[in-house]
Amino acid sequence: MINLEIPKKFKPLVSQGNQVAREVFRPISRKYDEAEHSYPKELDMLASLIDGMNDGSDMGGAGAAGVRRESNGGDEGNRNGSNLSTVLGIIELCWGDVGLLLSMPRQGLGNSAIASVATEEQLEKYGGKWAAMAITEPEAGSDSAAIRTTADLSGDEYVLNGEKIFVTSGDRADLIVVWATLDRNVGRAAIKSFIVERDNPGLKLDRLEHKLGIRASDTANFTLQNCRVPKEALLGNPEIDTKAGFGGAMQTFDNTRPLVAAMAVGVARASLEETRKRLEEAGVEIDYDKPALTQHAAAARYLEMESDYEAAHLLTLQAAWMADNSKPNSLQASMAKAKAGRTCVDVALGCVELCGSLGYSENHLLEKWARDAKILDIFEGTQQIQLLIVARQLLGKTSSELR
């Protein structure tokens, strides 16, 4: 059974993550929000420190490094592993700044994709490199099954052709995990992920996006023109199994969606804590022993947002804990992502509203968190897609039966 308290062995990691967020991320948060596309050099030393902690400890450092589903080895007890530790670390770091977390070297969502389905040989070859993930296309956004980027086998290489947009950390990363189809006529089952070196001559950078939020993180658009990669760059099984569907590709989402949910939880908590300070300064008391309807309207609204935050937090921990304990978590991963993404947006905007001019001013970070929040409800599967996945699983419907 899941324990709702932070495991004792992870408390140093949580403390470390909070310290990094407070002493490194928060002080430079506004600087890199305003200097979009400028690389935060302050993160290089921090990333090196986290790499050392990952190498010297089975818990790792407080980063967003890839996570891997592991077997319990027959142990029926409660296992708290890398999925939960990574989620806890991300929550703390995103309490500081989600854009800076996404800018940290070797801490990309592509690293989680590699860790989810890579072979031991691939893990050894690509370990220690920064990996971005390229899924979205101009005509394939929420519906990943509509991917048009192709991968054709030519001798000992795959030749990739297509276009990818909104690739987080795409310009700075060492590797790009590209989703492509082996056969457009087969549909979902033919979609695989491929590791492409950033300096591959067939991978051409088109532009960097200017964005509403997470401006510290670069977001790139690429064109793949006869981009050749070795056969060994395909992640997972190269065979097309129509019964397995997305197979390893969807397993990637089972691991990365709780990570994005954790980002949303961190931003929501930061907004709530800042708002509580401002309310107390204004003389508004929040009393947990009194019904909300008997308190100040601002206090009642705060309690409502905090309850949503707690639900999102627990769903996120549950999804990560299930992965650590070898339990199927596709449903829980989508529920966590849906709840946390929506809650983060509602809470951040609600906090701006409660704080009035202070919330809207650039003198405080509340307005920035409100801008950062929206992407957390969109990438890794939008709110609407997550709810559709949840409905399919609860009703036992296929994607063709419930669209």
Residue 63: predicted pLDDT = 46
Least confident of 69-83, 191-205, 217-231, 272-286: 69-83
* 276-286 burial: b if 16+ Cβ within 10 Å, else e: bebbeeeebeb
Copy the structure tokens of residue 185: 């006529």
Proportion of the chain above pLDDT 90, given as a percent: 71
Residue 398: predicted pLDDT = 87
SS3 221: strand
More confident residue, 254 or 291: 291
Banded pLDDT at 77 (limits 50, 70, 90): low
Q: Are 335 and 313 in contact (CB under 8 A)?
A: no
Provide mean pLDDT across the span 5-26: 93
Query: How many C-beta neighbours within 10 Å does residue 273 have?
Result: 11
Q: What is the pLDDT of residues 90-146, one digit of tens each?
A: 999 999 999 999 999 887 788 888 887 888 899 899 988 999 999 999 988 777 778
In the predicted model, is pLDDT for residue 246 greater than 60?
A: no
Confirm whether pTM is higher than 0.85: yes
Residue 2: predicted pLDDT = 61
Residue 245: predicted pLDDT = 52
| CA 343 – CA 277 distance, rounded (Å) | 20
Looking at 92, 137, 306, 380, which residue is catalytic? 380
DSSP H helix total and E strand total for the chain: 13, 8
Residue 172: predicted pLDDT = 95
Name all domains of the chain by residue range, CATH numbers in brackets: 8-123 (1.10.540.10), 130-235 (2.40.110.10), 248-395 (1.20.140.10)
Banded pLDDT at 65 (limits 50, 70, 90): very low
- Per the listing, tokens 């397995």 go with 244
In the predicted model, is pLDDT for residue 51 greater than 80?
A: no
Query: How many C-beta neighbours within 10 Å does residue 330 have?
Result: 18
Asked about 380 being catalytic, the answer comes back as: yes
Provide mean pLDDT across the span 346-365: 97
In the predicted model, is pLDDT for residue 339 greater than 60?
A: yes
Residue 242: predicted pLDDT = 61
In the predicted model, is pLDDT for residue 299 greater than 90?
A: yes
Provide mean pLDDT across the span 199-226: 97
- Per the listing, tokens 């800042």 go with 274
Nearest CA to 385 out of 139, 109, 141, 112 is that of: 141
